[in-house]
């Protein structure tokens, strides 16, 4: 979907999909992916080359967009570097480097190549460590790695740290990059579609994997809010306690997360103008999410999954879809669902296939994952939150 | 800034020569030497048989640590929010996947793949206990325990509900072991509550600091602290043991990030 907010806005407006037949590395799979251009060509700062891996290159590419690096540095100047945290989500971190290193093991000893850097690439924390150093921040830092809810949950963690006074601001978001573990893993579960994924379509048949870096600078609202300021007004988290890789068919856990997010925002379901669905495009996931949404919202709230445009960006999905929600609120746009031809009537939602305009005040975003982890976020416009 | 204060309702610990919190307290008190034995991960009875066959040692360690903590606190696991903190997740599972992907036949087993998510322990915990409360998974390399403690305590305070912290780490097999040596498996659990449920309970208060990290005088315990990320919790456990034994207040500085440490003050709840 491109790099930067302008490209993302344009893609959403045009209902453009970034999915293409998979050409990642030497993966020999009949599937489509949302591969980000120019990741390999993105260099890390000279002092941080130990963090070189696809995931951190993608993170750098994301940080370089839209003046984000400067915004983070400005926050550090305003609050003090130690008062700005870094809480990011990823599922696979720099595992692609490890996958490649396993092909170059020393034949006699089995040792990994000498250049392999566990902390810089493989370790789950690597991306937050890298981003914190790249931005010169000195506050608390952590990675949340709860599969496909990771970078939604970071908004909740950071909001709590701000509310309890530990920090004044946080860089939040998610970075997840293509790797063979997820491509072949989802293939082994027979969850990959052979074409571009079609969320909530009657004939949906699996996911397309994507990759993304998405960042937001979260801080307490101060002074008079611009009308189009975007506020995190609610978050809710829950667990399915049901199965490792299948959601509860009724979507009970998903419903708990959405209800908790609404409660924290002090909003009724009818006040939500758009739902960015998790919508992975597997038959069971979309059916379960549809059941959960219908139980709480009925059938009238416009909803779509944007994974037909981006692919499922796994640990980055919550962050990317938070940014999409922010654009929806600011531009008054209901994002569509490229790839989806006929919304499944058995699910019975007001499913938005083609983007259209709508005045939005509050929107909700869902992110669910393996292990039965659920997170929902509510975002609101500044002019919808004035006392 | 409001005080980052919560209460410890239960402690669990499993490590090399350490079967539980009582065994570790005896070592802290000087009543017993740390047994020179590898970590014994107790068998897991709580998962359905089908799931039990699918889980590796790291997940067994995490679940056993959590169950021990919940039992010590006489709490109901199904009602608790959880924070899992690990520096690396399931290394044996990761190794097996990377080996398969480096071979000519890249067919990963579906179970291996769904166990590869870093929240696998959290997922199995939910299946085992029925807990539908929020569950988070935190990593901060060697400072994962401190990052998890901060997340759990802030959650307990801001959500006003008990939070079970489970920090756990286990060794990688070769060749990852050579680049990331972890001495043995270690799990530590703390059940934190925003309010004290009894007088004398341990009250802990957190603060970020740049002071030097505390080490332990007991050499075998200090070796564990340095050798296993989750065992960076040991200075705090020593402090909790002293409070219990001598009603002694204390303060320790724990490893967190290279330039930020976590100070924990410990005293008895009024």
Q: pLDDT of B209-259, one tens digit each?
A: 999 999 999 999 999 999 999 999 999 999 999 999 999 999 999 999 999
Q: Is the pLDDT of residue B1 over 70?
A: no
On the question of a cis peptide bond just before residue B165, with omega within 30 degrees of 0, the verdict is no
For the question of residue A148 being annotated catalytic, the response is yes
Nearest CB among A128, A181, A243 relative to B116 is that of: A181
For the question of residue A16 being annotated catalytic, the response is no
CA B3 to CA B146: how far, in whole Å?
A: 17
DSSP secondary structure letter of residue B18: B
Q: What is the pLDDT of residues A26-67, one digit of tens each?
A: 999 999 999 999 999 999 999 999 999 999 999 999 999 999
Mutating which of A152, A244, A252 best tests the B interface, going by the most B Cβ atoms within 10 A?
A244
B136 contacts in chain A (CB < 8 Å)? 144, 146, 153, 157, 237
Q: What is the pLDDT of residues A171-220, one digit of tens each?
A: 999 999 999 999 999 999 999 999 999 999 999 999 999 999 999 999 99
Separation in Å, CA B138 to CA A91, A120, B159: 11, 17, 18
Q: Give mean pLDDT, residues B130-141.
A: 98
With cut-offs at 50, 70 and 90, classify the pLDDT of residue A326. very high
Chain A, window 176-215: residues with a beta carbon less than 8 angstroms from a chain B beta carbon: 180-181, 184-189
- Shortest Cα–Cα distance, B217 to chain A (Å): 28
Smallest CA-to-CA distance from A146 within B94, B117, B145, B131 is with B117
End-to-end CA separation in angstroms for chain B: 22
A253 contacts in chain B (CB < 8 Å)? 132
Q: What is the pLDDT of residues B41-96, one digit of tens each?
A: 998 888 888 888 889 999 999 999 999 999 999 999 999 999 999 999 899 999 99
Q: Is the pLDDT of residue B35 over 60?
A: yes
- Shortest Cα–Cα distance, B103 to chain A (Å): 8
Q: Is the pLDDT of residue A252 over 70?
A: yes
CA A173 to CA A10: how far, in whole Å?
A: 21
What string of DSSP letters covers B124-155? HHHHHH---S-EEEEEBTBTHHHHHHHHHHHH
Q: Name the catalytic one among A148, A179, A197, A325.
A: A148
Contact B208 A143 (CB under 8 A): no
- Shortest Cα–Cα distance, B209 to chain A (Å): 10
Nearest CB among A119, A238, A252 relative to B134 is that of: A238
**All domains in chain B, ordered by first residue:** 4-267 (3.40.47.10)
Its ipTM equals 0.98
Q: Is the pLDDT of residue A277 over 70?
A: yes
Nearest CB among A110, A142, A187 relative to B138 is that of: A142
């Amino acid at each position: 979907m491109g790099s930067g907010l302008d490209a993302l806005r344009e893609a959403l407006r045009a209902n453009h999909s970034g999915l293409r037949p998979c050409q990642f590395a030497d993966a020999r799979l009949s599937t489509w992916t949302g591969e980000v251009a120019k990741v390999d060509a993105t260099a890390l700062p000279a002092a941080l080359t130990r963090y070189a891996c696809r995931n951190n290159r993608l993170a750098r590419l994301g940080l370089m967009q839209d003046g984000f690096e400067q915004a983070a540095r400005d926050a550090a100047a305003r609050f003090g570097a130690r008062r700005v945290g870094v809480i990011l989500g990823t599922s696979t971190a720099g595992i692609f480097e490890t996958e490649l290193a396993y092909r170059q093991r020393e034949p006699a000893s089995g040792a990994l190549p000498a250049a392999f850097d566990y902390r810089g690439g493989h370790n789950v924390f690597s991306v937050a460590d890298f981003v914190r150093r790249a931005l010169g921040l000195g506050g608390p830092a952590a990675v949340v790695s709860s599969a496909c809810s990771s970078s939604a949950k970071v908004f909740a963690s950071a909001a709590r740290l701000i509310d309890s006074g530990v920090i004044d601001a946080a860089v939040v978001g998610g970075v997840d990059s293509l790797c063979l573990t997820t491509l072949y893993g989802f293939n082994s579960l027979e969850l990959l579609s052979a074409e571009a994924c079609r969320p909530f379509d009657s004939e949906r048949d699996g996911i397309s994997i994507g990759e993304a870096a998405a960042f937001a600078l979260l801080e307490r609202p101060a002074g008079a809010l611009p009308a189009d300021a975007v506020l995190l007004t609610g978050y809710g988290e829950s667990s399915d306690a049901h199965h490792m890789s299948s959601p509860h068919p009724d979507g009970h856990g998903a419903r708990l997360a959405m209800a908790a997010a609404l409660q924290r925002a002090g909003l009724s379901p009818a006040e939500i103008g758009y739902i960015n669905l998790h919508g992975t495009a597997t038959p069971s996931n979309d059916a379960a999410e549809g059941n959960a949404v219908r139980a709480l919202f009925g059938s009238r709230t416009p909803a779509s999954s944007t994974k037909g445009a981006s692919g499922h960006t796994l640990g980055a999905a919550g962050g990317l879809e938070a940014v999409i929600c922010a654009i929806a609120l600011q531009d008054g746009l209901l994002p569509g669902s490229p790839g989806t031809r006929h919304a499944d009537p058995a699910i019975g939602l007001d499913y938005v296939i083609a983007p259209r305009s709508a005045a939005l005040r509050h929107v909700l975003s869902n992110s669910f994952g393996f292990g039965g982890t659920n997170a929902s976020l509510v975002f609101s416009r500044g002019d919808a939150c004035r006392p | 800034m409001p005080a980052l204060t919560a209460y410890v309702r239960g402690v669990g610990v499993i490590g090399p020569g350490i079967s539980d919190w009582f065994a570790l307290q005896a070592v802290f008190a000087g009543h017993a030497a740390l047994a020179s034995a590898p970590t014994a991960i107790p068998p897991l009875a709580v998962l359905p048989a089908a799931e039990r066959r699918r889980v590796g040692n790291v997940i067994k360690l995490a679940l056993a640590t959590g169950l021990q903590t919940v039992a010590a606190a006489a709490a109901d696991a199904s009602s608790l929010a959880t924070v899992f903190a690990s520096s690396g997740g399931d290394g044996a599972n990761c190794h097996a996947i990377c080996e398969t992907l480096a071979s000519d036949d890249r067919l990963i087993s579906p179970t291996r793949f769904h166990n590869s998510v870093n929240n696998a322990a959290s997922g199995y915990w939910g299946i085992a206990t029925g807990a539908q409360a929020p569950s988070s998974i935190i990593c901060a390399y060697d400072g994962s325990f401190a990052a998890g403690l901060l997340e759990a305590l802030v959650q307990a305070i801001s959500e006003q509900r008990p939070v079970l912290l489970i920090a756990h780490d286990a060794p990688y097999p070769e060749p990852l072991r050579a680049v990331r040596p972890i001495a043995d498996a270690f799990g530590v659990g703390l059940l934190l509550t925003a309010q004290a449920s009894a007088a004398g309970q341990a009250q802990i208060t957190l603060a970020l600091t740049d002071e030097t990290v505390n080490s332990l005088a007991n050499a075998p315990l200090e070796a564990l602290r340095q050798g296993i990320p989750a065992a960076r919790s040991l200075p705090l456990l020593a402090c909790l043991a002293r409070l219990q034994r001598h009603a002694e207040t204390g303060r320790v500085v724990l490893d967190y990030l290279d330039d930020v440490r976590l100070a924990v003050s410990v005293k008895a709840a009024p």
